[in-house]
Structure 1
């Protein structure tokens, strides 16, 4: 299993234990399948490369794209995510209604390389007009530093992830969520076609259905919502 630190979904505790909402859900499913997990840590870009080559079997927290479908299978969706625009506290009342207006006004937007933010952002990123307004980073913390250094004017991040990082780093008074949010997107486990048979994906889906039926899924989710 590929592991990309993305609290509260995937992270490492002070005692070097890998945990998080996604990790706990997958561990519960693996127990249903009677499988043992071996964890490989890396950046999202690194993990995608390893997955493509079959050097790891699956990663968590993935979205379906046409490119990824060429080298990966996808589980049934196991949760949803919503990305929000984050800006400096002084810009919280910035008068823009969507991301296109934000970048059309000349603002630079920070994103994490190879993350999929939905069709709207993918179309803007593919545009020759708007592409220069996007600034890529390896991890979200880099976007936060760039925002405070005024190298970018905002960044996109999952609402729960951003809240967790900002609180942990003591930046929640300096960086605030703007009113602009993107639509909810389904999130999947992504399996390597180079190392995993489709039957294993079907077995994983049966395990997911089982923990939803026996109540364990909701127990885990509720613990992270409190």
Structure 2
């Protein structure tokens, strides 16, 4: 009997000694720092929301993102030690993703008070000029500005959520003129509407407009009118939901570095020729 009780006691001691530390009330396990394997810090990841807008941003036949704006930002992101991911979509879709922090930044943006509520803006990195494009037979219509064009009853195609400057914003705010502006998700839809005579003109960046007409062989059918909206600054727009002010400063420093080392001028010349 004693032998049996002794065996039971030994069995209980063994079971108690093998209980996991997490189940022991007073047990604390300390792992020496030296024995913990060093974990590599994850690389900086930035997601670009890209709206096809040749020659500034587009995808090649091999599905590679490229263009003036894309090459500029790739060079800047490299100075930050970050990896760049790309998400494609329409401008309207990308703005929604930017607000939610699902994309970190978009290119070719204009600065507005509304956008500053959810976005940071880089230093300006280039200028843009919007041009009015019309059917060839209307290229010489005698209008000096966009106000005169729409006041005569002509309809103008625009891309939803693009900012074309104060002149267009003021005209759109006028309820008597608002119906003269017809929105589209992409510029190519405005081109089709212009050819179908659903609209009388469309607004587009002059380099983008020239690229669309050249690629589609429409130079004989659509031409730029003398009406333009002047030059305005263009910015990289960052999501406040996913990008810190420190990263914004790093981006601006990298942008300045491109100006200093001459890469900025090289890229501008590449796409100007």
TM above 0.5: yes
Asked if 1:41 is matched to 2:88, the reply is yes
Shift of 1:183: 1.3
**Structure of higher CA gyration radius:** 2
Bigger relative contact order (CA 8 A; separation at least 6): 1
Asked if 1:180 is matched to 2:232, the reply is no
**C-alpha distance in structure 1 between counterparts of 2:106 and 2:121, whole Å:** 10
SS at match of 2:78: helix
Asked if 1:107 is matched to 2:154, the reply is yes
Alignment of 1:16-95 (within 5 A): 16-95=63-142
Structure 1 residues without counterparts, runs of 5 or longer: none
**Once superposed, which parts of structure 1, at least 4 consecutive aligned residues long, lie more than 4 Å away?**
none
**C-alpha distance in structure 2 between counterparts of 1:219 and 1:98, whole Å:** 35
Length, aligned pairs only:
226
Shift of 1:172: 1.0
Q: 1:158 aligns with which of 185, 198, 205?
A: 205
CA RMSD of aligned residues (A): 0.5
Normalization by structure 2: what TM-score?
Answer: 0.82
**C-alpha distance in structure 1 between counterparts of 2:269 and 2:136, whole Å:** 30
Asked if 1:121 is matched to 2:168, the reply is yes
Corresponding residue of 2:259: 212
Shift of 1:21: 0.1
**C-alpha distance in structure 2 between counterparts of 1:65 and 1:129, whole Å:** 24
Structure 2 residues without counterparts, runs of 5 or longer: 1-47
**C-alpha distance in structure 2 between counterparts of 1:134 and 1:59, whole Å:** 25
Corresponding residue of 2:28: none
Q: Which stretch shifts more, 30-39 or 204-213?
A: 30-39
